A and B are shown apart, each in its own frame.
Chain A
Amino acid sequence: MTASRLTLWLLFAPFLAWVLLLVVIPHIDLLILSLREKVAPRVYETGFRNYADFITSSVYPWTLFRTVAFSLVTTAVTFVIGFPVAFYIAKVARGRRRAALFLLCLLPFWVSEIVRVFGWMMILRETGLLSGFLQWAHVTSGPVEFLYNDAAIMIGLVYTSMLFMIVPLISTIDGLDDALIEAGYDLGGNGVTVMTRIVIPYAMPGIMAGSIVVFMLSLGNYLTPTLLGGKNGQWFTAQIYNQFITRFNWELGSAFGFILLITSTLVVWLLLRLSGQSLSNTLGR
């Protein structure tokens, strides 16, 4: 082994250790655990009963479907809100305004997620700001509860994910030569066609990168759906938490963890296929 090779290995060592310790080993462990069936106290057999339990259950698949669907909607909403913002920051704003706007997007992330979620709870709860404002404006006669429903979860998730959509979008749109936009107009395009035929196709790798990150973050989020959705949250991560912590059924919990992993991989793969992008060209920028 040459010296430069050695240096390379040493440089990569922390990264490899991180992947090995925090990603590979726990997942192998999870896989083994999920394939254990409890036949009697302290007696286990290898089999797929945990997975069968998941499939035959009336609640779990529905929760998973709900979680995936909501995460996709969150991703779409984040994109719809984030794209104009990113476009404005990357192409329209200049100099100090640009820096200020970017900072503004970053600002919420200076506090921890739990504080951010509590912020939303203060606004949305029955005695919160929104309800108070509506009563003050005589839109409603009594207090209204805005918390503990799907919309509240959505608001929280979109808010939490926004930065992860905007940053990759800004960095790809920033690379778009203004001349391409001008050429789009010069050859007869209008605002809509320039956007859909030139800017969005060009930004596709960034859109996919942002979407993958936002989707994964939403799918794996525990705090926001639990706090803002309450009992009605029904987020799949909460089910995993239940199995591990409340029911102490680590075997089923592991199976759930694995099912979530496979589902998210499948959805991401599907998204990439549909958009005609490859993972390397999306994240390798």
Chain B
Amino acid sequence: MPDFDLDCRNLVKRFGTFTAVDDVSFSIPRGAFFSILGPSGCGKTTLLRMLAGFAAPDQGDILIKGASVLRVPPNKRPVNLVFQHLALFPMMSVTENIAYGLKRRGQRRAEITRAVGEVLERVGLPDAGPKRIDQLSGGQKQRIAIARAMVLDPAVLLLDEPLGALDLKLREHMKIELKQLQAEFGTTFVYITHDQSEALVMSDTVAVMNAGRFEQVGTPEELYYRPATAFVAGFVGDANRLQGRVKAVGDGRTAVTTESGLELIAGPPSGPVRTGTAVELFLRPEAIACGGAPDGAGNRLKARVEDVLFNGAQSRILARLPSGDSIEALLPQTGAAASLKRGAPVTLGVAPEALVLFPK
């Protein structure tokens, strides 16, 4: 049996008739960074609260290091939670905040002082000890909240959108730092977020959650390049969406007519389709060749540049097809970009594999 730190089996949580978490199972190997990614209200916090022990599942089991913890109260579970708004104790200093958990364990004073100093060192704030919580910056609070949980050396650290309260710049910075902290501590992280870039950048494994269920569990690459469901394709990364019907199914190719009348050749369908099946197509902006044509039997779409959305290396063009569809494509980082001005004609080359197809 592999070495799982956390193993959840068929977890269900209902509020009245509403099912917030619906038959969720997953297991996380030791030391992994596991993210749960999903839109607001999909049940992420509910799931995390069950893991921490603040809510009891209606069905299913939670095993930590192989033992069921359903009957273990939150203060005895070997997991710690970093709260969405951190929940640092405002009436205590940084040192007292971190020492709180150690004192509850009845450790000796000298030992507590040493452990607090050590963990502060590790999160890069060796001198913050005597400060009050309201004297810390947002990023520092973040690190203290993690230090307060990590000093207890939990088997699993649960983090509920801990970067949600920070501004964009700091969030980008903390993303990398958090990943480094996790690697340094070697603790299993369960990280909740609705921000896909956080999940993709930091995680070893990501579970995409929607309406209480796990849609797909996989590495960031798998989710991005091989989404299992239409929801994942739409939620992870940016994509142009097109609705259509299957015209013909061939070997590894699917011919589709969109609702606007566009004829497209797409890759193999993810799911059972027949001629006439209503489908949804996803096309990533960076998979479109502006001006250039793909080799072989690709789609060549004539369009007109409607707008250029400048954003440095992430700049895009908004192209309008004669059918009326508008498509976002990544602006090439070559000389060809210069000719792509508003109103200019452009040919969009799309390889069939880039068009991901799901039956509706």
Contacts and interface: CB of A to CB of B under 8 A. Distances in A.
Interface of A: 177, 179-180, 182-190, 193, 197-198, 201-202, 204
Contacts of B104: 187-190, 193
Nearest to B91: A201
Contact of A198 (B84, B89, B101, B149): B89
Contact of B52 (A180, A186, A190): A186
Interface stretch (B74-82, B225-233, B287-295): B74-82
A183 B75 CA distance: 9
Nearest to A205: B91
Given A187-B149, A189-B75, A182 B54 contact: yes
A180 B83 CA distance: 9
B314 to A, nearest CB: 36
Given A187-B80, A187-B101, A188-B152, A179 B87 contact: yes
Interface string B144-162: 0000110010000000000
B90 interface: yes
Given A182-B74, A183-B81, A188 B105 contact: yes
13 contacts: A177-B87, A179-B83, A179-B87, A183-B87, A184-B100, A185-B74, A186-B52, A186-B74, A186-B81, A187-B100, A188-B101, A190-B104, A202-B89
B83 A190 contact: no
Interface in B10-61: 52, 54
B294 to A, nearest CB: 52
Residue of A183, A185, A187 with most partner-chain B CB within 10 A: A187
B85 interface: yes
Nearest to A197: B100
Contacts of B85: 177, 179
Contacts of B74: 182, 185-186
Interface in B288-331: none
Contacts of B52: 186
A202 B90 contact: yes
A225 B74 CA distance: 49
A179 B83 CA distance: 7
A183 to B, nearest CB: 4
Shortest 9 CB-CB distances between A and B: which pairs?
Answer: A187-B101, A188-B104, A179-B87, A183-B87, A201-B91, A179-B83, A185-B75, A185-B74, A186-B81
B75 A180 contact: no
Contacts of A201: 91-92
A201 B89 CA distance: 10
**Chain B: number of interface residues, binned into ranges:** 20 to 34
Nearest to B96: A197
B192 to A, nearest CB: 14
Nearest to B73: A185
Given A182-B54, A182-B74, A189 B100 contact: yes
Residue of A186, A190, A204 with most partner-chain B CB within 10 A: A186
A183 B144 CA distance: 14
Given A182-B54, A182-B83, A193-B104, A187 B148 contact: yes
A189 B148 CA distance: 13
Contacts of A190: 75, 104
Contacts of A198: 89
A183 B89 contact: yes
A180 B100 contact: no
B90 to A, nearest CB: 7
A149 B126 CA distance: 60
A202 B92 CA distance: 10
Contacts of B76: 188
A187 B154 CA distance: 10
B83 A183 contact: yes
Contacts of B73: 185
A180 B89 CA distance: 7
B80 A186 contact: yes
B91 A187 contact: no
A182 B87 contact: yes
Interface string B88-102: 011110000000110
A189 B89 CA distance: 13
Contacts of B105: 188
Interface string B174-210: 0000000000000000000000000000000000000
Nearest to A201: B91
A187 B76 CA distance: 9
Interface in B128-176: 148-149, 152
